[in-house]
Structure 1
Amino acid sequence: MYVNLRALQLLVLLNDGLCHSVNTLAKNLACSIKSIYFLVDQLHKYRIDIENINEDGFRLCNPIIWLNKDLILSHISVLPERFDLKLFDVIDSTNNYLLQQLKRNALNKGNVHVIVSEFQSSGRGREGHIWECGFGNGLMFSMCWYFEKSVSDLSGLSLAIGIAIVRVLKANSIQNIQIKWPNDILCENQKLAGILTEIRSEMHGPTYAVIGVGINCNLSKSVKTHINQEFTDLSSIASHLIDRNQLLGQLLTEFCQVLNDFESYGFTYFKKEWISYHSYEGREVDLKSTSGPIVTGIIDGVTSDGAICLLTPEGKKSFSGGSIFVRPRYTNV
């Protein structure tokens, strides 16, 4: 997506949350009044809420605490020098960027490569779903991790990443955080965050995992109208302001710990903890798959490779794969 640098300059001017007249903005940016209206339209494309005051001034509804590379690195407590962190204002997809770099053999195995962006024009979720988040509204980042393992040994990886996110949110006094199998983070049954893990491997060699994460921090009204499921954000559930720079540094630190443990012990090491966080554990659900009939059963944990287990009339069964969706049959339990 084309980045309009002049529009971002306008956003910086508006970021104090005060009302600025069109004439003043035009003067500060050395452009015409007509150009200011054009730039405001560009900012709307980034899902930024800007209020028109008395038809001759603009105010940013939710000022942004900008992401800062040095601040993020200062909050990483495990070998921050290993991290190759790139910060973008706008990108199509952080996962796509890392996958393209892998294809070009442009990533150093000795580094932990992280891509962070204030806005994604084509953010992706599971099963090709679109990840909706406005400029500066959340944390949208991807990490590439190198494994001396085959693809078959990485089952349950996204579930382990879910544990890392829950741990960090709990450490920040965010209550009632749960995981929905396989890759959603919930608060009071509303989606707060999602995980998208994509694996690439060399022929008879090591494996790379590109781990994408999106967390809702302070969603704009324009974003909220485009989300077609129950959702929440940190500004709605936290008792204090969450600094995105600090939160990302904490997440990257915890990811390193979890990924090292995962490489050593696999998902079995995390299984009990994961079950304790599962939002639908012990509940009757419908399990939907694009390749088979709906299966009804009671959730009874997960297997050692992260497959969901259901107690059905025909006995205990396990299900895995990217096309499976779990929905509660009853919301008042």
Structure 2
Amino acid sequence: MGVGMDTRKQLITLLASNKNTYVSGQKLSDELNISRAAIWKHMKALEEDGYKIEAVTRKGYRIVQAPDEMSENTIQWGLETTWLGQHLIFEKTLDSTQITAQKLALDGAVNGTVVVADEQVKGRGRLQREWHSKQNVGIWMSMILRPKIEPYRAPQLTLLTAVAITRMLKNICNLDAKIKWPNDIYIQDKKLAGVLTEMQAEQDQISFVIIGIGINVNHDSKDLPSELQSKATSLKLVTNQSWQRETLIQELWKQIEIVYEIFRNEGFSPIKKEWEQSAYKLGEAIHVTTGKTQWKAELLGIHDDGALLVKDEKGETKRLYSAEIDWKRTVQKNANTYETAENETK
């Protein structure tokens, strides 16, 4: 980031912290250690970016409206986090935010650095599945964390991120979303969002964790591939209204910070409890395939290590780390074969 852009970011931060009042040119000049003329030039540059700025003699400046187009400035305008997203890389188009974040992490990017793209052309989910990341309609991001926890606890970060997403959806959209183990967010039995966690570690120490998040926001039906229209949805399709992505991002990052601090201070137990309160199909029957064996189970919740807890037909509790699960209704065709509505390999 150049000197000019860094100054402009500080300027936006100052104005954002005084949303309802005017900030004098002199105060901005003193805070940023630049001339009043330079302040005026930065204001003009912000107006060219689409900001609507009100300037009143003897009162100062106030931003009254941010541009419609998402950018680094619009995301950080009004951002209330302490560390998450304070270092932000925004690009109109990327192959994958996950790939970019990995490169930045290897180069020493600090904890809380976030990569956001308006569009991904090679977005991916778990098991290298393609993630359709159309421009201007979704949230596509990857955050870099450097947690001081043992590598075996890394799956807990996926689970706490899912909890933060459900909190954001409740607070902003008044929606009660469900979490489908291990990494999907569902509304009305359709996928709305996904979380992808990747880690680099040495022996008993984590170097960094990259958590990718994709959320379908303002997609119309035509924006979703035909093969996914029966399986996926968006906030717009669910609520019949469009949403400002920056508002969702800011609240999400705020909730991730809150949940992450709970995790650091109190451990995983309170996160586990909240996750289970939103668990998809909790207490319901699912069908599990492990190896060549198919069996019916009841979903009980999750273990502290992130494994799925189920009760088999004998009443025994099992931990599932990897299995093929049919989450939807099944029709028994014979003693050993089931016709499944949807299978996903976990």
Match of 1:282 in 2: 283
2:94 aligned with 1:91: yes
Q: Distance in 2 between matches of 1:215 and 1:81?
A: 18
Q: Residue type of the partner of 1:145? A: L
Q: Residue type of the partner of 2:272? A: K
* Distance 1:330-1:295 versus aligned 2 partners, 3 A rule: closer
Q: Distance in 2 between matches of 1:284 and 1:297?
A: 6
* Distance 1:293-1:264 versus aligned 2 partners, 3 A rule: farther
How far did residue 295 of structure 1 move?
A: 3.4
* Distance 1:76-1:222 versus aligned 2 partners, 3 A rule: closer
Q: Distance in 1 between matches of 2:155 and 2:223?
A: 37
2:92 aligned with 1:79: no
Are the counterparts in 1 of residues 85 and 114 from structure 2 also a CA contact under 8 Å?
A: no
Structure 2 unaligned residues grouped into runs of 5+: 1-66, 332-346
Match of 1:114 in 2: 114
Structure 1 unaligned residues grouped into runs of 5+: 1-63
Q: Distance in 2 between matches of 1:176 and 1:169?
A: 7
Match of 1:316 in 2: 317
Per-residue CA distance 1:10-34 (angstroms, 9 max, x = gap):
xxxxxxxxxxxxxxxxxxxxxxxxx
Per-residue CA distance 1:120-177 (angstroms, 9 max, x = gap):
1111111111111311120000000111122013232211111000001000133231
Match of 2:59 in 1: none
Match of 1:205 in 2: 205
C-alpha RMSD of the superposition: 2.4
Are the counterparts in 1 of residues 308 and 321 from structure 2 also a CA contact under 8 Å?
A: yes
How far did residue 311 of structure 1 move?
A: 1.1
* Distance 1:293-1:126 versus aligned 2 partners, 3 A rule: farther
Q: Distance in 2 between matches of 1:139 and 1:169?
A: 13
Match of 2:268 in 1: 267
Q: Residue type of the partner of 1:281? A: L
* Distance 1:135-1:79 versus aligned 2 partners, 3 A rule: same
- Rg bigger for which structure? 2
Q: Distance in 1 between matches of 2:295 and 2:135?
A: 39
Q: Distance in 1 between matches of 2:328 and 2:157?
A: 24
Are the counterparts in 1 of residues 139 and 215 from structure 2 also a CA contact under 8 Å?
A: yes
How far did residue 223 of structure 1 move?
A: 3.2
Aligned with 2:173: secondary structure?
A: coil
Q: Distance in 1 between matches of 2:237 and 2:142?
A: 24
Per-residue CA distance 1:20-64 (angstroms, 9 max, x = gap):
xxxxxxxxxxxxxxxxxxxxxxxxxxxxxxxxxxxxxxxxxxxx9
Aligned with 1:201: secondary structure?
A: strand
Are the counterparts in 2 of residues 271 and 302 from structure 1 also a CA contact under 8 Å?
A: yes
2:149 aligned with 1:149: yes
TM-score (norm 1): 0.72
Tell me how many residue pairs correspond in the alignment: 263
How far did residue 82 of structure 1 move?
A: 6.5
Match of 1:4 in 2: none
Match of 1:160 in 2: 160
Matches within 5 A, 1:1-333: 65-79=68-82, 83-102=86-105, 105-109=106-110, 111-220=111-220, 221-227=222-228, 229-238=230-239, 240-288=241-289, 291=291, 293-314=293-314, 315-321=316-322, 324-329=324-329
Moved more, 92-101 or 163-172: 92-101
Misfit runs of 4+, over 6 Å: none
Aligned with 2:132: secondary structure?
A: coil
How far did residue 204 of structure 1 move?
A: 4.8
Give aligned-pair identity as a percent: 25
How far did residue 261 of structure 1 move?
A: 2.2
Q: Distance in 1 between matches of 2:265 and 2:289?
A: 33
Q: Distance in 1 between matches of 2:283 and 2:163?
A: 19
Q: Distance in 2 between matches of 1:255 and 1:327?
A: 27
How far did residue 330 of structure 1 move?
A: 5.6
* Distance 1:300-1:107 versus aligned 2 partners, 3 A rule: same
Q: Distance in 1 between matches of 2:223 and 2:81?
A: 37
Q: Distance in 2 between matches of 1:282 and 1:152?
A: 27
TM-score (norm 2): 0.70
Are the counterparts in 1 of residues 259 and 271 from structure 2 also a CA contact under 8 Å?
A: no
Aligned with 2:193: secondary structure?
A: strand
Q: Distance in 2 between matches of 1:187 and 1:160?
A: 18
* Distance 1:229-1:101 versus aligned 2 partners, 3 A rule: farther
